[in-house]
């Protein structure tokens, strides 16, 4: 199945173009886990060795938002901007978090159910009206957000407020959303990034409410009444803020908010219990999550964040983190990505949530270098603690931050968000007016002092999710104590690692077992050619993958979709060519020689000449012999069945190594030879499953390879 290497790049390109990422993070998830989207967009390659001409901090004219309060406690922040006929509005409920314990998941279900109908407007009617007006509305357990043309804003706000304040959760909708969330969790159980996030959250936050994670058992035990009770406690106006930005007039907003939110009942003031402290570990440790199927390892260095926006050191920490891992040219990114080529990106952040937050330094690397990436990440954190930064680097970061700050100030939403910040974080009214002056005043000594004060590399958790066999030995050798946890953060035993290959097992014995498993030597000798056609669908588009192989060295692969040939590669035994994006490229002498050394139609037989028995590995409850070929591709042969269940190739893409796992499933006999009926390509976002549509043996002729 090594022939897949020639058509995978086109398939993956099509997948990325048609699917993209559709995940949306909840506001809480953004606060606790993910990096700022705006921050990422502004990260650009710059020459850090070129000293910029420092400019004084610019003076910015701030537009003052209008703020008023309803009798029930709802604070309304309004920023008028009449440049475009659009309005953005959001409701944010700033309640202190509480532990839900065995009712954890009620919050997720509330987010899923809000918008599923009110006491007067059904779900279908609500959705039809939103679609009719061309608006965007999202409701969740902490409020809502909407975007609409200004002429439709009164109606959209009315509809959204009705869904938020007068919901009617039906048993049917509850059951449907409950099942969807359970299936979503089941799907994510094999996701290495999801496992790393869950374990980091549970271990780093501990007994703090943010340390609770939703499990399948939680969801199964929650009843509709639990969601109703959570709604009554959570959805109150006491600590709520309605932010309206865009083509509106203050007097109109006052009238609408009083009409739609004035009757929202204020909850009794109840003294909440003190939030549990977020504790750092006494000494740095590795918290390992064994993900046997992982082809990439997730690394997260975390500890408690003690910085808040009302702290006088905030601007110092902001610039210190920018130098460490908040910018493209940061220590972490330039070392892990640019110097070593281990990752597509490495970042760090200091969370500032007033109820509790974390410092995180995160990256994703291939398994083979995961232990080294941990060592290098910790070295860079220690570097900024123990060494003074280059003044040029500090000045560059200052100038970049001030430029981005000024650009953001052109957006009305920035003004509204800053007003919200001032209220919820107890900031002085001139906080953002003097912000750039404070940035400009930060010195080299301030950066090191901030690093020594707020970074704790000696008391950090290093959460690592990946394959233990390839990573743990190196981590232990580096001196880190390693503890093991399951995918939900529960302590567990160390997995099987570095299994000893039994005496007598060789490449030849493994391949002979494989030959027997797919039909035996006699059947292989009779099979002079093999043709297989697989299909998959991407966003309603059918992609067909065809491979043809004929002894001794003839080969053809072709990918079709959208009524055209997307890629093609042909070798007739003496010469060959490729067609990629309509361009025909003749094979080089090196490529011709490589093809002439391949055995057709079963290329796994080549491992007898070029393969090396590398190790034993385990995943999905099965043990595997791993043979590595001359190109570095890993072939996983099931110890019990003899079949090849998996193949992991490593390709260079723009000087970066890309790891690509492919799974072979449900082997089916075709005239005495077994081939996989399913080929699954793991993309990191979701899997692409190709299903066998047709297969033939001994029907091909030399002229089929033209």
Domains of the chain plus CATH, in order, are: 33-56+280-485 (3.30.830.10), 66-261 (3.30.830.10), 500-704 (2.50.20.10)
**Stretch among 466-470, 621-625, 656-660, 691-695 having the lowest mean pLDDT:** 656-660
Confidence of residue 656 (pLDDT cuts 50, 70, 90): low
- Per the prediction, the chain carries an average pLDDT of 89
d(CA 176, CA 600): 50
Summarize the confidence of residues 602-624 as an average pLDDT.
Answer: 90
Cβ neighbours around 188 below 10 Å, total: 14
Which residues are CB-neighbours of 134 under 8 A, at least 6 positions away? Answer: 148, 149, 152
* % of residues, the chain, pLDDT over 90: 75
Pairing state between β 656-670 and 644-653: antiparallel
pLDDT value of position 453: 98
Confidence of residue 12 (pLDDT cuts 50, 70, 90): low
Confidence of residue 687 (pLDDT cuts 50, 70, 90): confident
d(CA 580, CA 567): 5
Higher pLDDT, 130 or 37: 130
Confidence of residue 657 (pLDDT cuts 50, 70, 90): low
Q: What is the pLDDT of residues 275-323, one digit of tens each?
A: 999 999 999 999 999 998 787 899 999 999 999 999 999 999 999 999 9
Confidence of residue 6 (pLDDT cuts 50, 70, 90): very low
pLDDT value of position 29: 35
Summarize the confidence of residues 328-345 as an average pLDDT.
Answer: 95
Inform me whether the pLDDT recorded for 63 exceeds 50.
yes
pLDDT value of position 706: 87
Confidence of residue 70 (pLDDT cuts 50, 70, 90): very high
Summarize the confidence of residues 125-132 as an average pLDDT.
Answer: 97
Confidence of residue 486 (pLDDT cuts 50, 70, 90): very high
d(CA 164, CA 237): 12
Cβ neighbours around 318 below 10 Å, total: 21
d(CA 627, CA 511): 10
DSSP state of 334: I
Summarize the confidence of residues 416-429 as an average pLDDT.
Answer: 93
C-alpha atoms less than 13 angstroms from C-alpha of 160 in its C-beta half-sphere: 27
pLDDT value of position 91: 98
Evaluate the omega torsion of the peptide bond into residue 28 and state whether it is cis, within 30 degrees of 0: no
Summarize the confidence of residues 461-490 as an average pLDDT.
Answer: 95
């Amino acid at each position: 199945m090594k022939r897949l290497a020639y058509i995978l790049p086109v398939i993956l390109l099509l997948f990325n173009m048609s699917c993209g990422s559709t995940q949306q993070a909840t506001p809480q998830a953004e606060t606790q886990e993910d990096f700022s989207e705006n921050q990422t967009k502004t990260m650009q390659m710059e020459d850090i060795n070129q000293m910029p001409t420092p400019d004084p901090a610019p003076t910015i004219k701030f537009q003052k938002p209008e703020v008023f309060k309803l009798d029930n406690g709802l604070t309304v922040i309004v920023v008028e901007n009449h440049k475009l006929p659009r309005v953005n509005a959001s409701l944010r409920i700033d309640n202190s978090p509480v532990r839900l314990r065995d009712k954890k998941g009620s919050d997720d279900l509330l987010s899923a159910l809000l918008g599923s109908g009110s006491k007067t407007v059904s779900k279908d009617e609500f959705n039809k009206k939103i679609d009719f007006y061309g608006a965007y509305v999202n409701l969740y357990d902490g409020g809502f957000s909407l975007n609409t043309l200004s002429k439709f804003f009164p109606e959209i706000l009315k509809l959204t407020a009705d869904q938020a304040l007068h919901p009617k959760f039906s048993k049917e909708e509850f059951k449907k959303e409950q099942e969807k969330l359970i299936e979503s969790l089941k799907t994510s159980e094999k996701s290495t990034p999801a496992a790393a996030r869950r374990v980091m959250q549970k271990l780093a936050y501990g007994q703090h409410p943010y340390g609770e994670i939703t499990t399948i058992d939680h969801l199964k035990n929650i009843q509709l009444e639990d969601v109703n009770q959570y709604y009554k406690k959570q959805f109150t106006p006491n600590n709520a803020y309605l932010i309206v930005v865009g083509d509106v007039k203050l007097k109109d907003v006052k009238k609408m908010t009083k009409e739609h939110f004035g009757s929202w009942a204020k909850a009794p003031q109840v003294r909440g219990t003190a939030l549990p402290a977020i504790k750092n570990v006494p000494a740095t440790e590795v918290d390992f999550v064994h993900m046997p199927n992982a082809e990439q390892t997730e690394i997260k260095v975390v500890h408690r964040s003690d910085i808040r926006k009302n702290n006088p050191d905030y601007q110092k920490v902001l610039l210190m983190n920018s130098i460490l891992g908040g910018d493209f040219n940061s220590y972490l990114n330039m070392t892990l990505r640019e110097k070593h080529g281990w990752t597509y990106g490495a970042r760090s952040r200091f969370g500032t949530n007033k109820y509790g937050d974390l410092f995180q330094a995160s990256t994703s690397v291939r398994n083979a270098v995961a232990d080294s990436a941990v060592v290098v990440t910790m070295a860079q954190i220690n570097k900024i603690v123990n060494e003074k930064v280059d003044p040029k680097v500090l000045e560059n970061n200052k100038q970049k931050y001030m430029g981005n700050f000024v650009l953001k100030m052109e957006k009305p939403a920035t003004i509204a968000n800053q007003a919200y910040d001032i209220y919820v974080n107890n900031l002085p009214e001139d906080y953002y007016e003097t912000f750039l002056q404070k940035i400009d005043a930060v010195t080299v000594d301030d950066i090191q002092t901030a690093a020594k004060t707020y970074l704790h590399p000696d008391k950090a958790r290093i959460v690592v999710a990946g394959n233990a066999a390839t990573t743990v030995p190196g981590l232990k050798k580096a001196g880190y104590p390693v503890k093991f946890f399951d995918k939900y953060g529960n302590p567990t035993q160390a997995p099987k690692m570095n299994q000893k290959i039994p005496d007598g097992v060789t490449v030849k014995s493994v391949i002979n077992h494989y030959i027997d498993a797919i039909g035996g030597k006699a059947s292989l000798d009779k099979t002079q050619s093999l043709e297989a056609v697989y299909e998959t669908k991407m966003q309603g588009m059918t992609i067909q993958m065809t491979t043809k192989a004929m002894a001794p060295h003839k080969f053809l692969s072709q990918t079709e979709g959208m009524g055209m040939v997307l890629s093609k590669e042909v070798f007739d035994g003496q010469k060959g060519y490729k067609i990629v994006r309509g361009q025909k490229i003749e094979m080089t002498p090196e490529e011709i020689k490589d093809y002439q050394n391949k055995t057709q139609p079963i290329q796994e037989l080549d491992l007898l000449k070029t393969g090396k028995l590398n190790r034993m590995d385990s995943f999905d409850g099965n043990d595997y012999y791993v043979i590595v070929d001359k190109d570095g591709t890993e072939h996983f042969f099931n110890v019990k069945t003899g079949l090849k269940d998996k193949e992991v190739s490593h390709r260079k893409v723009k000087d970066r190594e890309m790891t690509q796992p492919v799974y072979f499933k449900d082997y089916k006999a075709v005239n005495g030879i077994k081939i996989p009926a399913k080929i699954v390509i793991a993309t990191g976002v979701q899997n692409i499953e190709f299903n066998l549509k047709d297969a033939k043996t001994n029907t091909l002729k030399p002229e089929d390879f033209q």
